[in-house]
């Protein structure tokens, strides 16, 4: 998947509308955990927590003929496309319409234990290529469309609801926190002033306001002036960071000892949440200076990446939407 700030890239796409990001690296990391369960992945469970159009999942299913997939996605349209794409593997695939923080319930729905039943997990975060490319979803600031931005278009508030009903303080907080927008207060003031005359309905109206609100000197650097505001609205509408904070512990609980997990983040806020959740679990909780590790107090994870890995120049050339990706991975080595 990708983040909204990269919407101007990626004309080179696969048959189903996207090129899977860092596919080779995901297989390199998750493959050993799958192969350790049985030949051809026999008996192994792979959870794609952000199934999207199924690009990563298809490769894993083809590579490991014994692998079982549990695919999650909050977007019913993406889920239907992925289900059609992966129909030839129907005897070993389960699809669940849910946000990734619903992983524990999804496993139970598929007849699996919430704890220790999974051998490989992939989170490919951000907005999907399909959502970005469908103009009527309102994710892209380069296309005038209704201000929706819901990843699941059947529930929840829209970006227009946020712009038209949130207080000045809440708008400024969202833009500053989720968009890291230094002109958050000024933009919020302009939004409140503008909506008093006419409510916001389309992305074009918002982009026009942002061009007026952000000084010309600032517009000349840092990319499109709308990218930070659109990112902030999308995160707020979809409760992305809250969902991620809840999803990571549940996903780690689901991992069997020897199981591995990969996170692909597309902006610093996501990556920070991932790091904050993984790091404490990779450290001993025994008091310093003890000659032995106290039972149940040792590290439960081994971090498999040195910091956050970035896409290579070759990967970015093939798939420009991989440019902002930050990959982190871990292996469960014990259970506290």
Binding site listing for S-adenosyl-L-methionine: 54-56, 73, 100, 124, 131
Tokens, residue 326: 């930050």
For 180, the token pair is 């890291």
Instruction: State the CB neighbour count (10 A cutoff) for residue 287.
Output: 8
Q: Say if CB 264 and CB 274 are below 8 A apart.
A: no
Closest alpha carbon to 72 in 151, 13, 135, 131: 151
Strand ranges of the sheet holding 326-332, from the earlier edge strand across to the other edge: 93-97, 68-73, 45-48, 118-124, 255-265, 326-332, 301-303
d(CA 172, CA 282): 36
Q: Is 156 left (phi over 0), alpha (psi -120 to 50) or beta?
A: left
Binding region? 54-56, 73, 100, 124, 131
270, 126 Cβ separation under 8 angstroms: yes
CA dist 20 → 13, 156, 254, 308 (Å) = 9, 28, 24, 18
Strand, coil or helix: 56: helix
Region for 166 from its dihedrals, namely left if φ exceeds 0, alpha if ψ lies in -120 to 50, beta otherwise:
beta
DSSP secondary structure of 64-79: -TT-EEEEEES-HHHH
Which parts of 75-202 fold into alpha helices (H)?
76-85, 103-109, 129-133, 159-165, 168-179, 184-195
CA–CA separation, 334 and 296 (whole Å): 9
Phi, psi of 324 (to 5 degrees): -85, 0
Separation between Cα atoms, residue 87 and residue 242, nearest integer Å: 32
């Amino acid at each position: 998947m990708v983040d909204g700030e990269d919407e101007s890239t990626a004309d080179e796409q696969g048959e189903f509308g996207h090129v899977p990001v860092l596919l080779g690296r995901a297989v390199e990391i998750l493959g050993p955990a799958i192969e350790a369960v049985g030949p051809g992945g026999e008996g192994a469970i792979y959870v794609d927590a952000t199934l999207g159009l199924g690009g990563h999942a298809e490769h894993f299913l083809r590579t490991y003929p014994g692998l079982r997939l549990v695919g999650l996605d909050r977007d019913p349209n993406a889920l239907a496309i992925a289900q059609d794409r992966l129909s030839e593997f129907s005897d070993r695939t389960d699809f669940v319409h849910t946000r990734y923080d619903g992983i524990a319930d999804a496993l139970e729905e598929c007849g699996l234990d919430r704890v220790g039943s999974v051998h490989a997990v992939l989170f490919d975060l951000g907005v999907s290529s399909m959502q970005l490319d469908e103009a009527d979803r309102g994710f892209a600031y380069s296309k005038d469309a209704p201000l929706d931005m819901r990843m699941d278009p059947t529930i929840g508030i829209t970006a227009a609801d946020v712009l038209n009903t949130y207080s000045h303080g809440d708008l400024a907080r969202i833009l500053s926190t989720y968009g890291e927008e230094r002109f958050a207060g000024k933009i919020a003031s302009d939004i409140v002033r503008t909506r008093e005359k006419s409510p916001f309905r389309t992305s074009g109206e918002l982009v026009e306001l942002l061009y007026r609100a952000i000084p010309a000197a600032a517009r000349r650097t840092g990319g499109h002036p709308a990218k930070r505001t659109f990112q902030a609205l999308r995160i707020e509408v979809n409760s992305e960071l809250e969902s991620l904070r809840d999803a990571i512990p549940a996903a780690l609980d689901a991992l069997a000892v020897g199981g591995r997990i990969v996170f692909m983040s597309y902006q610093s806020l996501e990556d920070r949440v991932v790091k904050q959740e993984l790091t404490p679990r990779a450290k001993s909780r025994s008091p310093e200076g003890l000659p032995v590790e106290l039972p149940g107090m040792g590290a439960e994870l081994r971090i498999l990446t040195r910091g956050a890995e970035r896409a290579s120049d070759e990967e970015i050339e093939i798939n420009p939407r991989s440019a902002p990706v930050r990959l982190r991975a871990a292996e469960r080595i014990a259970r506290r």
